[in-house]
Chains A and B, each alone.
Chain A
Amino acid sequence: MFDVNKVDAIIEKHGAEQRALTAMLQDIQGEYNYLPREALEHLAQKMKLPLIQVYQVARFYRAFSLEPRGKHSITVCLGTACHVRGGVAVADQVGRLLGIKPGETTKDRRFSFDTVNCLGCCALGPVMVVDGQYYGKMAASKVERVLAKYSGEEVATNA
């Protein structure tokens, strides 16, 4: 739940200045796993800025989410090295199994699914990361087994 004291502590730590805005948003996201509307409103008020200026920064950077995220975070790397080694097929399979597109969260809030442009471990490509755990040399045929570890139940396929 949104806690005004936590946001105040973050503002206190950085100083309510424009130059600290990204760092504050990063800390708020670190706290809640997304940027709650109340937190942004509170921040804007404290910084004496129109809310739109805070939103502009929050919307510009990919790292920020305005929606609550899933319990497990799945990332499929689509850097060039992963792309030429078949990363797209892996990403397609994740999307198909979970029934969501990159950037979305499943209705039960169990999984969030994103693609990234490079994780910098190209030797392992195609790479998929679930909650910080790396799965290298992935293939579409291996996705279901990996997801099953996190779903607590058999992942329903649409087959």
Chain B
Amino acid sequence: MPRLTSRAEFEAWRQSILASWDPSKPCITVCGGTGCSALGAKEVTAALGRELKKQGLQDKVDLKMTGCHGFCERGPLVVVYPQHIFYQSVTADDVPDIVSETLIKGNPLERKLYKDLVTGEPIVYEPDVPFYREQHRILMKYNGLIIPTRIQDYIAIGGYQALCKALFEMSPEQVIEEIKRSGLRGRGGAGFPTGRKWEECRRADGDIKYVICNADEGDPGAYQDRSLVEGNPHSILEGIIIGAYAVGAHEGFIYIRHEYPLAVEHITRAAEQAEEYGLLGKNILGSGFDFTFKVHRGAGAFVCGESSALMRSIEGYAGEPRAKRIHATEKGLWERPTVLNNVKTWASVPHIINNGADWFAQMGTETSKGTMVFSLVGKVNNTGLVEVPMGATLRHLVYDIGGGISSGKRCKAVQTGGPSGGCIPERLLDLPVDYEALTEAGSIMGSGGLIVMDEDTCMVDVARYFLHFTMEESCGKCTACREGSRRMYEILERIVHGKGQEGDIERLQEIGTTMINGSLCALGRMAPNPVLSTIRYFREEYEAHIRDKRCPAAVCKDLITYSIIAENCTGCGVCLRNCPQGAITGEKKQVHHIDPSKCIRCGICREVCRFDAIKVE
């Protein structure tokens, strides 16, 4: 097909796609997200293809491998349309029954339905599953419905209409005004108002300007940006093109982690398709607006998620941040005015242009508008990606959507915002999640990772974990971050090894404050958060480690011992055979014994024991 050169041509093409898009046609979708793929989604899709052919249904039923549906815990996920029948934990062996029962006879296949966690009742339809029912999906809405590598699918769900509206009905200033009125704030962490950023860039001097999409999603436990780029890449691209038009940029980049090969592939394909149809490149749809777009793969440096480091990295240098006395909107990439926004920010733009600023602004809280996509992970029943309006409470997320704590134990804390965030204790779970409330509680929104922790999680160990992360990822350019993270880590190491001293807590707070005040970029300024927030809420755990040489959660190896509970031990010998140190002795059918001097506390005996006979304290 030749490039489309006008809005009328685009409209005609769109109509032809809609004419062949029949929402009532049976369609079976398989989630192709990373979680489901790892669990065998490709095999399920291949089996479905074979079975449909075998039954002569290949023309009557569409088969799609889509992006991530979000309910990763229960993968591989399969949804049968038009009814929205929802199947979970599907294997290739289930495929013949799904085809014969559901596609041919129209009945749900009960054994693959989701069962309510409380009542045990099977739930047939996807929108009725509590995990989905309690969400408000806008950015993630189409992830389960479209083939990410097919631009026609995106057009069919209304794609690129916002771009048409912006290019042909709105001036750049009007686009900026709309974004400003919507109240959209940056979804990457700091929450800077997006419209204001665009306006600053538009007003900045210079003919050459850039727009950048930050997809360097480095926070451990956060993977929503990856799912959006993999599952609906055109929505991000459309947002970027609109933003470029608004600020007057003619060149743009997406900076994406190399650990996300599928996301790289999908956004690259999306850009090629958009170029082919005239939605990217010279004179987009005959509007006179030119815009080229490049995909830049990162090479594994967390600090490159920081805007100035990211720009340095695109320029081809080591990704070290710089002091931001001058905003990137004035001097950014190659010293030119630059707008950099996160994946979710860009993906929100087409929705705002299509539905209006008022529609967007009615969702959320006074200061935080719209929806946020969280990755709900850790010790929670329903691990996955959830999208809710800003202001939803952590309790709602963890219990109503997440289905509560997976271990059956008590929730201890929720960690938000990755290595720059903090731990929010259980008693504050009714906190509404918005930028201000989280900051006040000593954490941050960050990129939306929510890690649920239960009583078996040691908060000192978690703090040490994050400081180790920061120490390794600190680029070393400024002293406060380079030395501060190292010294804080050393103190935490000492504490978890039972060598903590009086005054360590105060020392951690003092170094933390110095890092906050003295670091060059947000990596260093935020790095003390996990430590300071756990001291604030879980000080008694630090004290137990330091004074009593005790780890209340029984995690820190040097402070715990493994022993065998005589009443439970059957003398089966499984632990003895599996112990890598030969630390376990005992006759068959006699109570076994662990030699503490040989035990390395690897935990294997507890994993393999079927009688709950291993005690750790």
A124 adjacent to B39 (CB under 8 Å): yes
Min CB gap A116→B, angstroms: 7
Contact of B377 among A81, A89, A96, A159 (CB under 8 A): A81
Binds A, one of B45-53, B560-568, B574-582: B574-582
Cross-chain contact B580 with A157 (CB below 8 angstroms): yes
Q: How far is the CA of A81 from the CA of B375 in the complex (A)?
A: 10
B-chain residues with CB within 8 Å of residue A25 when the two chains form the complex = 299
B residues 370-390 touching A (CB-CB < 8 Å): 375, 377-379, 383-384
Q: Check A86 against B603 for contact (C-beta < 8 Å).
A: yes
Flag whether A10 is at the interface (Cβ < 8 A).
no
The residue that A57 contacts in the complex, of B72, B258, B316, with Cβ under 8 A, is B316
Q: Which residues from 43 to 57 on chain A have a C-beta closer than 8 Å to any C-beta of chain B?
A: 56-57
Is A159's CB under 8 angstroms from B581's CB? Answer: yes
List A contacts of B582 (CB < 8 A). 159
Q: Give the residue of A18, A21, A122, A158 whose beta carbon is less than 8 angstroms from that of B223.
A: A122
B100 CB to closest chain A CB, in angstroms?
29
CB distance B226 to A61 under 8 Å?
no
Q: Which B residues lie within 8 Å of A7 (CB)?
A: none
B107-115, B213-221, B270-278, B511-519: which lies at the A interface? B213-221
> Is A119 engaged at the interface, CB distance under 8 Å to the other chain?
yes
Q: Which one, A104-112, A132-140, A146-154, is touching chain B?
A: A132-140
Are B221 and A63 touching (Cβ within 8 A)?
no
Contact of A84 with B378 in the complex, beta carbons under 8 Å: yes
CB neighbours of B39 from chain A (8 A): 124, 136
Binds A, one of B184-192, B349-357, B449-457, B485-493: B449-457
Can you name the residue of chain B whose Cβ is closest to the Cβ of A89? B603
Check B465 for interface membership: any CB of A closer than 8 A. yes
Q: Is A67 an interface residue (CB 8 A)?
A: no
**B contact set with A: CB distance below 8 Å:** 34-35, 37-39, 72-73, 75, 217-223, 226-227, 258-260, 296-302, 313-319, 375, 377-379, 383-384, 415, 418, 449, 451, 453, 457, 462, 465-466, 469, 475, 578-582, 602-604, 607-608
CB-nearest residue of chain A to B224: A120
- In contact, A81 and B378 (Cβ under 8 angstroms): yes
Contact for A63 among B227, B258, B296, B578, CB less than 8 A = B258
A47 (CB) vs chain B CBs: closest residue: B316
- CB pair B220–A118 under 8 Å, yes or no, is yes
Decide: A80 and B259 in contact? CB cutoff 8 A: no
Say if the beta carbon of A19 comes within 8 Å of chain B: yes
**Residue from A26, A80, A121 within 8 A of B449 (CB atoms):** A80
B377 touching A123, Cβ below 8 Å: yes
- Interface pair A122/B221, CB less than 8 Å apart: yes
Nearest B residue to A157, CB-CB: B580
Residues on A with C-beta less than 8 A from B296 are 22-23
The answer to whether B379 touches A57 (Cβ under 8 A) is: no
Question: Known contacts A57-B317, A63-B258: does B72 contact A122 (CB below 8 Å)?
Answer: yes
A-B interface, 10 closest residue pairs, ranked by CB to CB distance from nearest: A120-B223, A62-B300, A61-B299, A79-B220, A134-B38, A123-B72, A122-B377, A123-B383, A60-B318, A118-B220
**Are A80's CB and B72's CB within 8 A?**
no
Given contacts A60-B318, A85-B379, A124-B38, 20 further A-B contacts (CB under 8 A): A19-B315, A20-B316, A21-B316, A25-B299, A56-B317, A56-B318, A57-B317, A80-B449, A80-B451, A81-B451, A83-B462, A85-B378, A89-B603, A93-B602, A118-B219, A120-B226, A121-B38, A122-B223, A123-B384, A141-B604
Chain A residues contacting B377 (CB-CB under 8 Å) are 80-81, 122-123, 125
Q: How far is the CA of A92 from the CA of B604 in the complex (A)?
A: 11
Query: Which A residues lie within 8 Å of B457 (CB)?
Result: 84
Chain A nearest CB, measured from B530 CB (Å): 10
A23 touches B418 (CB 8 A): no
Shortest Cβ distance from residue B551 to the other chain A in the assembled complex, whole angstroms: 14
